Amino acid sequence: MRALLAFLGRPGSRTSDFEQPLRRSSRIFAAQTSGTQKPVKTKSKSSSDQPMDESSVESREAEAMEQQSDKPLKVKSNKKLKLKSKKNKSEDTEPVADAEVNAAASDPTEPLQYECKHCNLLSNQTKNWHLNASPFASRKTKLNILFEQSVCLDKMMKLLKDMGTAVHSLKQFECEQALECFEQLPDCQLNSSFVLGQMAKAHFELHNYSKAEKLYTKLRREYPYHLDGLEYYSTTLWHLQKEIALSSLAQELTEFDKLAPETWCVVGNCFSLHKEHDAAIKFFHRAAQVDPKFTYAYNLLGHEYVLIEEMDKGLSSFRKAIFLEPRHYNAWYGISMIHFKQEKFLLSEKYLKKALLINPHSSTLMVHIAVVYHSLKQSDKALQILDRALVIEPKNTLCKFHRASILFSMEEYEKALQEYEKLRRLIPKESLIYYMISKVRHFFVAQSTKFLLGSSFDMSLKKIYQNIEKKM
């Protein structure tokens, strides 16, 4: 403004009628900022005294702008004076500055303060406002905020590290290690839908179907609209033979979302449990139509085809699952099972080894490859693999049953009887166990009787031969 006035007032410059309104506005602005003078109001010339031209129009516009800018200029100057006085007071005493910070916090322009649930610290949005926007924050306050931010960042990185370690272990099928990592998480994360689903899947892979069912039930109760992983929940209920729970789950999901592949997998497992295999195949096909990249639908479809002895269709379904996800070990196991039923034991061994490379901690896969070795007349190697499977899962009833069966085929009836007795204690309602116990006892008694009869017959022959020698 001063430069403009100097330019207009210097000799030789062209002056016009709009020079005077500019000078008046400069005097008014100086008076308002200093607070010592009142704004000067000037009367503009009427249209009757002087004709209207461009200079008079500009002067009137300047006066109108001058009147509109009176109030904001006064408020601005008052704010500046208050800020200066507050700044001077804050230099004298630090508690006054803290009070002013609290007063500034009530300003509507300041962001709301949110507490971090994990470490009880303020959110980064509030801290950054105190660090950058607040002019009254002391150096000590800023250092405290920076320290709290570093602590919060460390805790967040530790949380992400533990979560990543657990998920990586689960992807490598190290389920016990994954469960240990998940249990170290804070309660707010431990009860989240993602962690509950992953822990339930870990128990599912360990064949702890009762624990997996409890976790899936909790997941359904707290997050009723969470669909991810419910196909494994339906398979868990299928293994536990819980028809009512599986039917209820299928009805709930069909009412909620009919365009989710998990829904049709649950419905297919429900019909499979009721021995309606044709309907189950239809619903598994529906799941694959809804999401053509849903691998588990092809896996369930292949197993259902195997149950109705359609091996070629089952083989194509398993191959489709492997094409979508090469690390889907269930599909490799399904192909080996089909070759085993066709008595192609070498091919069955080949695909089971591929499945074991993906999931080397599965006792079920070890049991099946032991059965394949027994079919290849390698019973000793089969028993070694079964012993390794029992180390991994000591209560695996399938492993104990096949171990007893192999011992029975090797005519080691006493050891086989001991294994069947252990099975009888674990599953007392299984009729096949009692049949095998009676069969083993029958062969054991026959063998012992034959041994006794054979030894007594040999003794009688020796006595007869000795008597003949004496007579001679």
192-to-207, 211, 258 alpha-carbon distances in Å: 23, 17, 25
How many other CB atoms are found less than 10 A from the CB of residue 192? 16
The answer to whether 413 and 444 are in contact (CB under 8 A) is yes
* SS3 at position 274: coil
Q: Judging by beta carbons within 10 Å of its beta carbon (0-12, 13-18, 19+), is residue 189 exposed, middle or buried?
A: middle
Q: Judging by beta carbons within 10 Å of its beta carbon (0-12, 13-18, 19+), is residue 276 exposed, middle or buried?
A: middle
* SS3 at position 122: strand
The answer to whether 305 and 311 are in contact (CB under 8 A) is yes
pLDDT at 428: 85
* SS3 at position 192: coil
Q: ∠ at Cα 38 (33, 39), nearest 5°?
A: 80
pTM of the model: 0.66
CA distance 311 to 338: 6
Q: What sign for the dihedral angle of Cα 346, 333, 388, 396?
A: negative
| pLDDT in single tens digits along all 472 residues of the chain | 555 444 445 444 444 444 454 455 445 444 544 444 444 444 444 444 444 445 555 566 556 555 554 444 444 444 444 444 544 444 444 444 444 444 444 444 444 444 454 444 444 555 555 555 555 556 666 667 677 777 788 888 888 999 999 999 999 999 999 999 999 898 888 899 999 999 999 999 999 999 999 999 999 999 999 999 999 999 999 999 999 999 999 999 999 999 999 999 999 999 999 999 999 999 999 999 999 999 999 999 999 999 999 999 999 999 999 999 999 999 999 999 999 999 999 999 999 999 999 999 999 999 999 999 999 999 999 999 999 999 988 888 889 999 999 998 888 888 888 888 888 888 888 888 888 888 888 777 766 665 444 444 445 545 554 555 555 5
Q: What is the dihedral of CA 212, 213, 214, 220, to 10 degrees?
A: 110
pLDDT at 304: 95
Name the CATH topology of 335-395.
1.25.40
Name the region of 396 (left: φ>0; alpha: ψ -120 to 50; beta: rest).
beta
In terms of DSSP H, where are the helices of 240-310?
A: 243-256, 261-273, 277-290, 295-307
pLDDT at 64: 59
pLDDT at 438: 85
Q: What sign for the dihedral angle of Cα 334, 335, 339, 342?
A: positive
CA distance 224 to 252: 10
How many other CB atoms are found less than 10 A from the CB of residue 402? 21
* SS3 at position 115: strand
Residue entry with tokens 């536990």: 240
The domain locations on the chain are: 335-395, 411-472
* SS3 at position 294: coil
